[in-house]
Amino acid sequence: MAPTHDALALLDAAADLADAPLLGIAEALRTALAPYVRCSALVIFTEDCTGRPQKKAGAENIISRVSLDELDAIRSALPDLAPRRTTELIAGEPRPVLAARSTTNALLVLTDPAPAAGWRDEEAMPAVVRLWHLAAVRIRDKVAEAAPSYLRESRAASAERSRLTAELTDQHSTTLETVLAALRSPHQPDESARRAATDIAAAALVRLRASADRAASLLEEPVARAFERLQAELRPLERFSGISLQFVEPPADGRALPGEVAHAARAIVRALVLAMVEQDEVRRIRIQWDCDGTNLLIDLRDDGQGSLCPAHDGMRRIEQRVQALDGRLRMEAMPGWGADVFVSLPLDAPKPPSREAAEWGLGEREEQVLQLLEGGLRNRAIAAELGVSENTVKFHLRNLFRKLGVGSRAEAIAVAAEARQSGARA
């Protein structure tokens, strides 16, 4: 029997949703849901996007004021994945909402929901649930496949939100603690009023600190938990491919990973595992994570014939993801002995360029090459340190010499040393 018009419309909506860009997925979902349910605003809360945990579309007076606290409270109250109609505090006001969680633990909230014309609520919900779960999975997948520019933007947004959260926490904590001290003073005549005010202020302080903790949980993920999520994601591949995956866990007390590093690391490992599996005669892959306090260190080794190479399909995209987080990738492959891939991802955003580098107009990579040059390293050692080819090092050196107005390595080192000495005297 041929599909009905409604079924074809649902398939078209699902296709449009699957193709929607990450930053436009909330609007795409609202459009897809419009034939089934109307709403004044649509809000998605997802921990997969550390830079933008909210995806929003609809009424500006709602989407501009909704808070993570409100969304977290709604999600915590949902007992399962079934959609639920209720009244919740959204954008500072009680509103009727339709809320639902997904298998990825993302949250969907529709404000002022009402069935679209021609639909009863119980008839529309199956389509709504299916489209929502598709959107949630696509968000997770799109973050894993995101372009380097999105990763850089996400890291910048995370850092800015962390700074603002810390400032607000300090500001309001100081204010509330001062209020508590004043209200607890023995000179206050109205004891009952003081007690009530103290209780209110103490509760507000607890909520504020809990809010800061929730914001921090979006920004960071314990390294052991991030590795556990990676294992869970790769288990189906192990079951169905016949490949044995050996996991060497990181220290449980290792430094927490910034959210975008944790997500990117899992995506990089998944892509590397798939590239290794495509080789002939691979039966075992060893996956190890470690943390040296400043970098997440990833090591993958297979037992194949050593045919994996940088020109392999997908390896270029993997390297781009690594470079987007200022990381390094190095690969060693020996015929008959397998391939070994090392990835290092820094846990902190890159530091701003030095005064001298800014004056000379040096790019970040050129400044790194200059520092290694001053350390006495030759081209091959610089290439190994930066995880690039010797030809790339030569390219950066040519640009470096041109910007410094020199013609040799010795001159470049001398000019840099003189500039730093002048800066120190100033």
Q: Are 65 and 80 in contact (CB under 8 A)?
A: no
- Beta-strand ranges (E) seen in 201-248 are 220-221, 244-248
pLDDT on residue 1: 32
Measure the CA–CA gap between 245 and 232, rounded to whole angstroms: 12
Q: Output the pTM of the full model.
A: 0.47
SS3 assignment, position 148? helix
**Tokens encoding 3:** 């599909």
Centre a 10 Å sphere on the Cβ of residue 152 and count the other Cβ atoms it contains. 17
Cα–chain center distance at 98:
27
Among 21, 364, 347, residue whose Cα is nearest residue 159: 347
213 by Cβ neighbours in 10 Å (0-12 / 13-18 / 19+) ranks as exposed
Q: Are 214 and 68 in contact (CB under 8 A)?
A: yes
Centre a 10 Å sphere on the Cβ of residue 190 and count the other Cβ atoms it contains. 9
Helical pair 390-404 and 409-425, crossing angle rounded to 10 deg: 50
**Tokens encoding 310:** 């940088």
- Beta-strand ranges (E) seen in 146-273 are 220-221, 244-248, 257-258
Residue appearing with tokens 């600190």: 209
The alpha carbons of the chain give a radius of gyration, in whole angstroms, of: 27
Cα angle, residue 49 at apex, residues 47 and 53 outer, rounded to 5° = 65
Question: Which residues are bridge partners to 84 per DSSP?
Answer: 99
**Tokens encoding 390:** 């010797």
Q: Are 34 and 116 in contact (CB under 8 A)?
A: yes
Task: Give the number of residues written for the chain.
Answer: 426
Residue at 34: amino acid letter: A
DSSP 8-state code for residue 343: E
- DSSP letters along 281-326, please? T--EEEEEEEE-SSEEEEEEEE-S-S---TTSTTHHHHHHHHHHTT
Measure the CA–CA gap between 61 and 16, rounded to whole angstroms: 27
- Beta-strand ranges (E) seen in 11-64 are 37-38, 41-45, 54-58
- Digit-by-digit pLDDT tens for the chain (426 residues) are 333 446 777 777 788 787 778 778 889 999 999 999 999 999 999 877 666 678 888 988 898 888 888 898 899 999 888 899 999 999 888 999 999 999 888 999 999 999 988 888 888 899 899 999 999 888 887 776 655 555 555 555 555 555 555 555 655 665 666 666 666 666 666 676 677 667 767 766 676 666 655 555 556 788 888 899 899 888 888 777 778 999 998 887 777 888 778 888 988 998 898 888 888 788 999 999 988 778 899 999 999 888 887 776 678 888 888 887 788 898 888 888 888 999 999 887 666 666 667 778 887 788 888 888 887 888 888 887 776 778 888 888 988 898 888 888 888 888 888 877 665 544
- Beta-strand ranges (E) seen in 70-196 are 84-90, 93-101, 107-111, 114-115
pLDDT on residue 334: 82
**Tokens encoding 165:** 């959260």
pLDDT on residue 216: 55
**Tokens encoding 26:** 């909330």
SS3 assignment, position 39? coil
